[in-house]
Every structure is written in C-alpha cells, then in structure tokens.
Amino acid sequence: MLLTSLCYIEKDGKYLMLHRTKKKNDINEGKWLGIGGKFEKDESPEECILRETEEETGLVLHHPRLRCIVTYVSAGHDTEYMHVFTADDFTGTLKTCSEGELAWIAKDKIPELNLWEGDRYFLERIARPGPFFTLKCCYEGDRLVQHQICEYGAEA
C-alpha cells in the first residue's frame, strides 16, 4: 500500500503543474501532475502535502483543502491511496524542481496535457466547489479500465 498527497495550487485561474521529466524509472514519466509525493513515517496527509510542496516548489501552503481520496489499482504495483488537496493561499518564491518542470497552466487547458486518464475525473470536480468524494481507478498498464466515484456530505 502506498500513501501519497497531491495538491493543485491555484492562482489567477491557473494550476501549478509539474511535468515529470527528470526522475529515472518514474511511473509518471512524461505526465503532468499536481504537486506532492509519498508520506514519510508517521505523517498525516496535511503534513505530507505541506512538506512536499515546500520541497518541490519553495512555496508554503496556508490552509490546503482536502477534496478527495483517489485509489489507484494496477497489476504489478502497490495500491495507491492519494489524498488530493487544493490551495489558493500560499507564500514563497517558486524554485526549480528536481523532478521536472513547473508551470502555471490555465485550468481550461489542463485537459490538453498528457495526464493519467483517471486524473481527468477528479480534476473536473475539484475545479469547482462540491462535496468531498472518493474515486477508484483501475488500470491495465496506462489504460483506465474501470472507475467509480462516491460523493460524501456537503460542499467543500
């Protein structure tokens, strides 16, 4: 089991995206993702996203909002439970990332990027107010073969 956190940082109608191009043997190579990574020992999802964001971007998040949990299932890989946050309150100066290129991308242009197919389902939902939800994505290689969304409670 793999626990991760990911954040879509918003400014001026754009998300800060990471084009994964620098890590060797990267399952995400060539894909565009939000900012984040794996939990360290004893970290909460919030502690993970705050640490990962500062390490990867130089930005310090204030009040990130947990929007959904995504379960990724793929043969030959550990099941991943990704905690997806959004944030629009941050300080700091953007720095160079060791994992790829950082870019502010207009939210309406995100679907044109090389994304994981399942990411499109949660990105559409987190771009607007709405209830907390979970998403399960089952892959065969890079191909999404099944997905399921469940909503919970009131708007985030």
Q: Is 90 exceeded by the pLDDT of residue 155?
A: no
Read off the pLDDT of each residue in 98-115 and give the average, rounded to a whole number: 95
pTM of the shown model? 0.93
User: With 0-12 CB in 10 A as exposed, 13-18 as middle and 19+ as buried, what is 17?
Assistant: buried
Whole-number percent of the chain with pLDDT over 90: 85
Calpha distance 137→47 (Å, rounded): 25
Domain locations in the chain? 2-155
- Other Cβ atoms less than 10 A from the Cβ of 82: the count is 22
Question: Which helix (DSSP H) or strand (DSSP E) does residue 63 occupy?
Answer: none
Q: What is the pLDDT of residues 19-59, one digit of tens each?
A: 999 877 778 888 999 999 999 999 999 999 999 999 999 99
Residue with tokens 């191009």: 21
CATH for 2-155 is 3.90.79.10
